[in-house]
Amino acid sequence: MKRRAFIAGAAAACSVPLATSAVPYIPPQPDTGGPGLDARARRSGRRFGCAIKSGQLAKDPAFTAAVLREAGTIVQEYELKRHVTQPRPGRYDFSGNDKLVDFAQKHGLAARGHTLVWYSNNPPWLAAALPGARGRARDTLLTGYIETAMRRYAGRIGEWDVVNEPVEPNQGRADGMRAQNIWGQAFGENYIDLAFHSARAADPRARLFLTDFGLEHASRRCEARRTAILKLLERALSRRVPIDALGIQGHLKPFREPFDERTFARFLDEVRGMGLGIAITEMDIADRGGPQALEPRDAQVAAVGKAFLDVALANPATSSVLTWGLSDRYSWLSTYPEYRWPDGKPSRGLPLDSDLRRKRLWASMAAAFDAAPPARKGAR
């Protein structure tokens, strides 16, 4: 990079109210060779992975090669959601995820399962059946899928997002639980107990996650969400619900909300203090609202990624980091109205650009993995 552009990038990186470090981090230019992110993550006993779709593997060999270069674990971007797998009652279609799990097995990758119980992406028949159902029939609408999916992939999917996105304080409930949620409406909070108990029974060796977004920034929105999650975890653990770990999605939006290392570190300490593991399960960085020019924008995105991962990896309970996609060639951020650029240019929130080149964000993630102290061994 030309020296002037570099300085401009660095200055811009300093001007974003993101992190509390005294010395601003200036991410290095990415190298083009060298070990991938999973190899870096393994140095501290962790894993790196990404979300993928089976269609990408079928149609894009260059992207597939990039996944194999960078990732040690994969997760389905959508192919285990119930509207896909259970289009009609009692009829399952696991064909998309079977391809992903076969791919993982063939190449020695680990696989996560996303997601078993979510307020969203349920088939219409399920949302229609739930309110009128009672007793065992109602329980089965929740637990039947957990049992079927987890038994099918026992030994091949080691970690499951059992309950996804349970809190939403801005929906008005005093306890911060998501009000517009078919599961909460049918069972009350007990849906969480039922889900985790049936997951534990379906595959006792699997690591069971509760996952949510909006836990990362130093904003009122995230503060309320962190409080709601901590209280939920406290209640659930006191009822002996078998939750092993919290999945922090990590959809960062640094040009809208600040990131503060101490705030995030304190939250992770509280989670660890409850005896839970931690993973970053869906990391990406919305660059909408950042500078138009790519150099300073990429530098700022990379700086936030580093600040965020430095805190996440300083905690020994953090076992893995997954990004939501791997390359800007395929990112939900480029399709979502709130985050996509109005001129149709791709969002640059993932480690590889649209041409599969390693970006500054890749370099800052690699640097964070390289510097990470060891993870706790044998975490469930």
Q: Which residues bind ligand 9MR (CB under 6 A)?
A: 77-78, 81, 121, 213, 249, 282, 332
Q: Strands 73-76 and 47-52: what pairing?
A: parallel
Where do runs of H (alpha helix) occur along the chain? 3-15, 37-42, 54-59, 61-70, 82-85, 95-106, 124-129, 135-152, 182-187, 190-202, 220-238, 261-273, 294-314, 360-371
In the bound state with ligand 9MR, the residue whose beta carbon lies nearer, of 315 and 334, is: 334
In the bound state with ligand 9MR, the residue whose beta carbon lies nearer, of 334 and 364, is: 334
Find tokens 């597939």 and name the residue: 64
Residue 38 token pair? 């999973």
Integer Cα distance of 301 and 348 in angstroms: 8
In the bound state with ligand 9MR, the residue whose beta carbon lies nearer, of 153 and 332, is: 332
In the bound state with ligand 9MR, the residue whose beta carbon lies nearer, of 264 and 332, is: 332
Phi, psi at 44, each rounded to 5°: -105, 15
| Minimum distance, C-beta of residue 282 to ligand 9MR, in the bound complex (Å) | 5
In the bound state with ligand 9MR, the residue whose beta carbon lies nearer, of 255 and 332, is: 332
| Minimum distance, C-beta of residue 249 to ligand 9MR, in the bound complex (Å) | 5
| Minimum distance, C-beta of residue 83 to ligand 9MR, in the bound complex (Å) | 8
| Minimum distance, C-beta of residue 114 to ligand 9MR, in the bound complex (Å) | 6
Residue 140 token pair? 């089965």
Taking a C-beta distance cutoff of 8 angstroms, is the pair 86, 145 a contact? yes
In the bound state with ligand 9MR, the residue whose beta carbon lies nearer, of 236 and 248, is: 248
| Minimum distance, C-beta of residue 132 to ligand 9MR, in the bound complex (Å) | 26
Q: In whole angstroms, what separates CA 324 from the centre of its chain?
A: 6
